[in-house]
Homo-oligomer: A and B are copies of this chain.
Amino acid sequence: MNQITYAKFEARARIIKALAHPTRLFIVDVLSRQEHCVCELTAMIGADMSTVSKHLSILKNVGIIRDDKRGNQVFYQLTTPCILNFFGCIESVLCEMKKEQMELVE
Residue positions of A touching B, CB distance < 8 A: 1, 5-6, 9-13, 15-17, 19-26, 29, 44-46, 62-64, 66, 79-80, 82-83, 85-94, 96-97, 100-101
A15 to B91, CA, bound (A): 10
Contact of A15 among B10, B23, B94 (CB under 8 A): B94
Q: For the complex, would chain A's binding face be called helix, strand, loop or mixed by DSSP majority?
A: helix
B21 touches A25 (CB 8 A): no
Across the interface, A89 reaches (CB within 8 A) one of B5, B63, B86, B100, namely B86
A12, A21, A92, A101 pick with most chain B CB within 10 angstroms: A12
| Closest B residue, CB atoms, query A30 | B1
| Closest chain B CB from A66 CB (angstroms) | 8
How far does the Cβ of A91 sit from chain B's closest Cβ, in whole Å?
Answer: 8
